[in-house]
Amino acid sequence: MQANVVVVGSLNMDLVTRTERLPQPGETLFGHSLATVHGGKGANQAVAAARLGAQVAMIGCVGSDAYGLQLREGLLAEQIDCHGVRNVEGGVSGVALIVVDANSQNTIVVVPGTNACLVSQDIDACDSALQKADVIVCQLEVPMSTVGYTLDRGRALNKTVILNPAPASGPLPVEWYDAVDYLIPNESEAQALSGVVVDSLDSAELAARTLMGFGAGKVIVTLGAQGALFVSEQRAVHFAAPKVLAVDATAAGDTFVGAFSAALAAGRSEDQAIRFAQVAAALSVTRSGAQPSIPYLSDVEGFSPS
């Protein structure tokens, strides 16, 4: 395995239905369509980084079912190194149930399946890839102990470590933060991690600085159509989002993280990497599905704001 971006995380098959609006508790709605789409936050970020110019290796687990075979083949088709994707014999691959409404908002239920099987030994087995990488990326759809182990190893190797704390429902282990160079939450994740209500740029900055107080190097709070807020010890900068017609926001955050990782690995500055990632994420919301919506490098380089 040799890659300049290594992604440690989940691989899911997404079952996506579109409805006029999201259902209320106990309510049954009719959907307009059903699609089976390759997803999982880890795999999405790996595909984004690969399509946007990086050499990528994926570390994760799939089942011995048909979904597992399809997920692996999908990554291989993107020229992603899958030596670190372990097949769990008899296991059932992860699945995400996604409902998208007419306003492109979504609700997601994730069934982890074999994503829960990723352990520290899997990380050790791919240590040569971590040693050769420029950037290591993690999320929270695999066991927390494995994420923490990977973060520690990334710090020990002096690599650029990115943590996308998603999904987040509460505080992270405080010892993680010192190992993270770039923490990239959305508004709700920043609020869950920091305890600060995030409803404005000022409160987003306060949440980011709270997280930096825990030890995170730098924080990028993604704000959907409102752009992104970058916060470091020296500065706080708001980057406005490109204007596009949104269709489906399912993989926008993953596209941002993957694109940002690829741009850093390519030697771009932080500001350049954020702007690059914003264009990629904006393009992704103009298309349906998780991985099918992720743009290619030529799409981003050819983008002209409307």
Is 144 known as a binding-site position?
no
Region of 158 (left: φ > 0; alpha: ψ -120 to 50; beta: rest) is left
Residue 74, annotated as binding a ligand: no
12 is in an annotated binding site: yes
Q: Is 21 annotated as a binding residue?
A: no
User: Is 225 labelled a binding residue?
Assistant: yes
222 in a labelled binding site: yes
Q: What residue type is 171 in one-letter code?
A: P
Question: Could you tell me the strand order of the sheet in which 135-138 lies?
Answer: 81-88, 56-63, 5-8, 135-138, 160-163, 182-183, 218-222, 228-231, 236-239
Catalytic residue among 65, 81, 122, 254: 254
Residue among 174, 169, 247, 180 at smallest CA distance from 220: 180
The answer to whether 186 is annotated as binding is yes
How far apart CA 278 and CA 230 sit, in angstroms, is 12
Flag whether 127 is marked binding: no
Q: Is 84 annotated as a binding residue?
A: no
Query: Smallest Cα–Cα separation from 51: which of 277, 210, 288?
Result: 277
Confirm whether residue 4 is marked as ligand binding: no
Residue whose token pair is 């352990």:
119
User: Is residue 254 annotated as part of the catalytic site, yes or no?
Assistant: yes
Q: Tell me phi and psi for residue 22, to 5 degrees.
A: -75, 140
Residues identified as active-site: 254
Binding-site members are 12-14, 40-44, 141, 186, 222-227, 248, 250, 253-254, 284, 287, 289, 293
Binding-site members for ATP are 186, 222-227, 253-254
Binding-site members for K(+) are 248, 250, 284, 287, 289, 293
Binding-site members for substrate are 12-14, 40-44, 141, 254
